[in-house]
């Protein structure tokens, strides 16, 4: 048996030294370590040995099996590396002296409108905040007065990660962190909280001319003593007339969101059809653009702010829809389509 073992070992070493590609190496692995492989057969052949011999020989075969496994793995690594090097060497040389023939790129229209909104709000004293796209259930729902199993969650189904976190379905998910970040300045120094936070949002929903599964919103909040709906309307109007550089027709109607009370829907007259009705506005002549309202006392409390002393407004502007209205884009899906021809026509006015 020992001779057989030595012969298997010598044969394996010879074959490993000669093998030149990963496919042949895999065949070798199967031939030695597979179910019917020669090393496996050595183990099977031990049944006729005495107990003492079994102990001694079994140990030797196991050592050989371990060595064979390691050597094959090592060889596989070596062959793969060689294959990568071969591929790199076969690539055509990169000629640095060839003149570049690249056209200048352009900003995505969402970036242009986002920057425009940031500029407008900054000029009115708002901070611009950045927030993660991956958030916790608490940030996205619980801190916004949307407990587990609340029906409002149905409107915002999103993509969940295995660790329980989720891709944020609305920029409101940053509200709690913003309140906590600025509450001390508000309480101790009397500085109002004024912040906007644009961001990418995700929803598990069917797409159409005005709905995407990935889109941008821009949230805004203001908290201080005696903030009222009039402040909210003033800031909304100022922003829209600056973005459109003309008077735009808007309407305010009641809207329900568990994190505001009272809540409103701010719709904009559809700029694609002039209010006549078209697929972009679902034939209503109006497009839901910016829900808003007075921040719910429970949401302020969750952010560490006393609702008896402070009030505030919040809005969630549909940035991608604003882009559609500003530039007359009929189908929201064109904005994520990746067509450079379509996207490069937008230019920075600045």
The residues that touch ligand FA5, with contacts defined as CB under 6 A, are 170, 172, 203, 205, 211-212, 215, 217, 219, 257, 260, 263, 288-289, 291-293, 314-316, 318, 320-321, 332
Q: How far is the CB of 179 from ligand FA5 (least distance, A)?
A: 13
Q: How far apart are CA 284 and CA 270, in angstroms?
A: 9
Residue (195 or 289) nearer to ligand FA5, CB: 289
Residue (120 or 299) nearer to ligand FA5, CB: 299
Q: What's the sign of the alpha-carbon dihedral 202, 130, 223, 114?
A: negative
Spatial CA neighbour of 297 closest among 265, 257, 264, 261: 261
Residue (103 or 154) nearer to ligand FA5, CB: 154
Give me 239's structure tokens: 């922003």
Q: How far is the CB of 348 from ligand FA5 (least distance, A)?
A: 23
Q: How far is the CB of 172 from ligand FA5 (least distance, A)?
A: 4
Residue with nearest beta carbon to ligand FA5: 318
Angstrom distances, CA of residue 75 to CA of 24, 38, 151, 233 = 11, 19, 58, 71
Q: How far is the CB of 194 from ligand FA5 (least distance, A)?
A: 15
Residue (5 or 332) nearer to ligand FA5, CB: 332
Q: How far apart are CA 313 and CA 130, in angstroms?
A: 19
Q: How far is the CB of 211 from ligand FA5 (least distance, A)?
A: 4
Residue (114 or 320) nearer to ligand FA5, CB: 320
Q: Judging by DSSP bridges, how do beta strands 193-202 and 127-128 pair with one another?
A: parallel
Q: How far is the CB of 219 from ligand FA5 (least distance, A)?
A: 6
Residue (129 or 212) nearer to ligand FA5, CB: 212
Residues 6+ apart with CB under 8 A from 69: 33
Q: How far apart are CA 319 and CA 312, in angstroms?
A: 22
Residues 6+ apart with CB under 8 A from 25: 16, 19, 72, 75, 76, 79
Q: How far is the CB of 281 from ligand FA5 (least distance, A)?
A: 11
Residue (38 or 145) nearer to ligand FA5, CB: 145
- % helix, strand, coil for the chain, step of 5: 50, 15, 35
Spatial CA neighbour of 210 closest among 159, 272, 253, 152: 272
3-state secondary structure 293-320: EEECHHHHHHCCCCCCCCEEEEEEEEHH
Residue (170 or 183) nearer to ligand FA5, CB: 170
Q: How far apart are CA 173 and CA 175, in angstroms?
A: 6
What torsion do the CA atoms of 181, 187, 191, 194 make, to the nearest 10 degrees?
50
Q: How far is the CB of 103 from ligand FA5 (least distance, A)?
A: 30
Residue (58 or 263) nearer to ligand FA5, CB: 263
Q: How far is the CB of 37 from ligand FA5 (least distance, A)?
A: 56
Residue 155 per-residue DSSP state: G
Q: How far apart are CA 286 and CA 255, in angstroms?
A: 15
């Amino acid at each position: 048996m020992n001779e057989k073992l030595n012969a298997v070992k010598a044969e394996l070493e010879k074959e490993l030294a000669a093998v030149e590609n990963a496919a042949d190496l895999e065949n070798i692995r199967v031939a030695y370590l597979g179910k019917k492989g020669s090393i496996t057969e050595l183990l099977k052949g031990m049944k006729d040995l005495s107990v003492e011999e079994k102990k001694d020989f079994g140990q030797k075969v196991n050592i050989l099996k371990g060595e064979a496994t390691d050597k094959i793995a090592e060889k596989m690594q070596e062959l793969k590396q060689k294959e990568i090097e071969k591929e790199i060497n076969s690539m055509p040389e990169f000629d640095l002296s060839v003149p570049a023939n690249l056209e200048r790129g352009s900003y995505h229209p969402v970036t242009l409108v986002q920057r425009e909104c940031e500029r407008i709000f900054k000029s009115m004293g708002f901070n611009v905040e950045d927030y993660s796209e991956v958030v916790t259930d608490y940030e996205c729902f619980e801190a916004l007065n949307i407990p587990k199993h609340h029906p409002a969650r149905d409107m915002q189904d999103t993509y969940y990660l295995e660790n329980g976190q989720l891709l944020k379905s609305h920029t409101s998910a940053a509200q709690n962190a913003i309140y906590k970040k600025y509450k001390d300045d508000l309480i101790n120094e009397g500085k109002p909280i004024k912040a906007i936070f644009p961001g990418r949002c995700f929803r598990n929903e069917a797409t159409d001319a005005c709905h995407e599964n990935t889109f941008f919103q821009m949230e805004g909040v203001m908290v201080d003593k005696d903030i009222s709906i009039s402040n909210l309307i003033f800031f909304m109007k100022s922003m829209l007339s600056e973005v459109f550089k003309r008077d735009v027709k808007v309407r305010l109607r009641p809207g329900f969101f568990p994190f505001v009370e009272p809540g409103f829907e701010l719709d904009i007259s559809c700029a694609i059809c002039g209010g006549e009705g078209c697929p972009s506005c679902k034939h209503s002549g109006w497009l839901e653009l910016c829900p808003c309202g007075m921040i719910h006392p429970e949401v302020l409390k969750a952010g560490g702010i006393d609702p008896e002393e402070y009030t505030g407004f919040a809005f969630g502007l549909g940035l991608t829809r604003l882009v559609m209205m500003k530039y007359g884009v009929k189908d929201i899906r064109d904005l994520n389509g990746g067509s450079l021809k379509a996207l490069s026509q937008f230019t920075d006015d600045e």
